[in-house]
Amino acid sequence: MVKGVIFDMDGLMFDTERMWDTFWAPCLEKRGLPAPPPDFYTGCRGLAGENLKRHLKEYYPQIDPQKLLDDVWAYGARQLAAGVPCKPGLKELLAWLEQVGMPRIVASSSPRGMIEMNLQTTGVVRYFHDVVCGSDVPRSKPDPAIFLEAARRLDLDPKDCLVLEDSFNGVRAGAAAGAVTIMVPDLAQPDEEIRRLYTHCCHDLLEVLDLLKTGKV
């Protein structure tokens, strides 16, 4: 049975992936650049740091990727400041984990300020023992660094941790860390590769809660 739970944020805890997809076009338009094609969004989910910059450079070689990222983070912060919707089952899962005394941590590629704002505005900040953000580790998902750091902060072996993820890169990172990995798909359903990597695939966080209650993970 797992001894701690590591939560991704966007698309897993909060219904924000669809919102983030709408932030790129106005920032690009402001710089006189076209809106991204559909595969741009799929490819950038779960990325951060140099991996995300390389992805941006592939589609928009004419602009400094850091400047574009700064634009998007600033625009996103303004849009999300009023609060974000929680995914079904989030608060029930967190309350149960607190009740049984299982430690909880957020491991997200987003900037720390964005993570902390979302935790505060949704009222779930009190449930978490710590936060690991993209800038805390040298490499982003699909590298396992962020989950290995989260396990270290919980003082747990990664194999005793449950990673909850919605993205392909997140599932790849959880599996590479050696953690029990559950995918709760958001915008993309798992393909054959991803199905080989995760331990379970759940419709929502209520289903994750049922697995934990029945000792199946």
Domain range summary for the chain, segments of one domain joined by + = 4-15+84-213, 17-80
Catalytic positions, please? Answer: 8, 10
pLDDT (average), residues 120-127: 97
What tens digit of pLDDT does each residue of 155-167 get? Answer: 999 999 999 999 9
Q: pTM for this one?
A: 0.92
pLDDT value for 46: 73
Residue 160 in tokens: 């005793």
What tens digit of pLDDT does each residue of 100-120 get? Answer: 999 999 999 998 999 999 999
Nearest CA among 205, 208, 138, 183 for reference residue 45 = 183
4-15+84-213 CATH: 3.40.50.1000
* Residue 171 φ/ψ, nearest 5 degrees: -65, -40
Residue 198 in tokens: 């995760």
What tens digit of pLDDT does each residue of 165-192 get? Answer: 999 999 999 999 999 999 999 988 999 9
- Tell how strand 104-107 and strand 4-7 pair up: parallel
pLDDT at 1 over 90: no
pLDDT value for 44: 84
